[in-house]
């Protein structure tokens, strides 16, 4: 059985080029324990194989920092999940996800998250008493027999599609 060669290095200031000791793993383990307990090495040590890339604690901690985009993605996922579970106001979403209300508002605006509880309204061009209102755009499309893109475009400018004024109404 071959013994693995290892280096003993200072864990606080890792420098693989200047090891404190070098030898087979079991012996180096015993040496490290003895020297640390006796006070000869008043710092923590690590056993590493030769050729290992050693990073300092600062570099290791920096690598653990969360990517801001990843944090944003997780927040958006939580916001969408809360909305799916019936939380329709920004305040309800904020309370259920424990994300700040301002952050929920900012993310909803930044990514145009469809969190509003509004509905689509179509009013007949020559008969204002004939009003069609639906929660979803797909249902309105079926009812007035028009494609989604034309209804969306008309809603932005209060335009007419198939004889109907189209608008999006916020639910209070």
Q: Is the pLDDT of residue 2 over 60?
A: no
**What's the whole-number mean pLDDT along residues 39-57?**
74
Q: Is the pLDDT of residue 23 over 70?
A: yes
Instruction: Report the percentage of the chain scoring pLDDT > 70.
Output: 85
Q: Is the pLDDT of residue 122 over 50?
A: yes
Instruction: Report pLDDT for 78.
Output: 92
pLDDT tens for residues 127-143? 888 888 876 778 888 88
CA distance linking residue 117 with residue 90, whole number of Å? 10
- Comparison of pLDDT for 81 and 110, the residue scoring more: 81
Q: Is the pLDDT of residue 62 over 50?
A: yes
- Residue 155: Cβ-neighbour burial (10 angstroms; 0-12, 13-18, 19+): buried
Q: Is the pLDDT of residue 1 over 50?
A: no
């Amino acid at each position: 059985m071959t013994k693995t060669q290892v280096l003993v290095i200072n864990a606080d200031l890792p420098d693989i080029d200047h090891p404190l000791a070098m030898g087979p793993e079991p012996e180096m383990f015993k040496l490290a324990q003895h020297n640390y307990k006796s006070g000869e090495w008043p710092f923590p040590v690590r056993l590493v194989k030769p050729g290992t890339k050693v990073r300092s604690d600062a570099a290791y901690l920096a690598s653990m920092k969360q990517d801001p985009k990843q944090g944003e993605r997780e927040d958006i996922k939580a916001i969408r999940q809360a909305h799916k579970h019936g939380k329709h106001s920004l305040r309800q979403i904020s309370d259920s996800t424990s994300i700040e209300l301002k952050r929920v508002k900012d993310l909803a605006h930044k990514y145009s998250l469809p969190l509003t509880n509004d509905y689509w309204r179509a009013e007949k061009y020559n008969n204002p008493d004939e009003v069609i209102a639906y929660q979803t755009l797909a249902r309105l499309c079926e009812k007035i027999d028009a494609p989604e893109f034309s209804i969306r475009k008309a809603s932005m400018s209060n335009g007419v599609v198939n004889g109907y004024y189209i608008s999006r109404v916020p639910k209070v």
